[in-house]
Amino acid sequence: MNRSGIDILLSTTMPPGLAEDLAQHFTLHGPEVIGSPGFAELAPRIRGLASREPARVDAALLESLPNLEIISSYSAGLDNIDLDAARRLGLVVANSSAALDEEVADTAIALILMTVRRFAAAERHVLEGKWAEGPFPLARGLKGRRLGIVGLGHIGEAIAARATAFGLSIAYHNRRAKPEVPYAYHATAEELAAESDILAVCCPGGPETLNLIDAKVLRALGAGGVVVNVSRGSVVDEDALLAALADGTIGGAGLDVCRNEPNPRPELIGHPDIVLLPHVGSATVETRARMGHVMRDNLLAHFGIKEV
Q: Express each pLDDT in 121-147 by its tens digit.
A: 999 999 999 999 999 999 999 999 999
pLDDT for the residue 131? 97
Architecture of the domain defined by 101-276: 3-Layer(aba) Sandwich (3.40)
Beta-bridged to residue 148, according to DSSP, are 171, 199
pLDDT for the residue 120? 93
Tell me if 12 sits within 8 A of 52, measured CB to CB: yes
pLDDT for the residue 2? 57
CA distance 60 to 12: 16
pLDDT for the residue 27? 95
User: From residue 53, how far is each of 94, 95, 96, 137 by CA, in Å?
Assistant: 14, 11, 12, 41
pLDDT for the residue 177? 96
Q: Coil, helix or strand for 144? A: coil
Q: What share of the chain is helix, strand, coil (3-state, %, to 5)?
A: 40, 15, 45
Q: Looking at 230-280, list the stretches that DSSP marks H as alpha helix, in order from N- to C-terminal side.
A: 238-246
Beta-bridged to residue 253, according to DSSP, are 227, 274
Angle at 158 between CA 165 and CA 230, to 5 degrees: 110
Sign of CA pseudo-dihedral 94, 95, 99, 101: negative
H or E stretch at 42: helix 39-42
Closest by CA position to 118, among listed 247, 271, 246, 230: 271
CA distance 264 to 61: 29
Active site residue 261: yes
Name the CATH topology of 7-98+286-302: Rossmann fold (3.40.50)
Tell me if 148 sits within 8 A of 200, measured CB to CB: yes
> Nearest 5°: phi and psi at 300?
-60, -45
How do the domains of the chain map onto residue ranges? 7-98+286-302, 101-276
Catalytic residue among 20, 208, 261, 286: 261
Catalytic residue among 25, 279, 290, 296: 279
Integer-rounded Cα Rg, in Å, for the chain is 22
- One fold for both 7-98+286-302 and 101-276? yes
Tell me if 55 sits within 8 A of 10, measured CB to CB: no
User: From residue 238, how far is each of 38, 153, 229 by CA, in Å?
Assistant: 44, 24, 11
Torsion of CA 54, 277, 229, 169, to 10 degrees: 140
Catalytic residue among 186, 232, 288, 290: 232
Tell me if 186 sits within 8 A of 195, measured CB to CB: yes
Give me the residues of the chain with pLDDT under 70, please: 1-3, 308
pTM, two decimal places: 0.88
Tell me if 276 sits within 8 A of 264, measured CB to CB: yes
Closest by CA position to 146, among listed 63, 226, 215, 212: 226
CA distance 10 to 28: 7
pLDDT tens-digit map of 40-55: 999 999 999 999 988 8
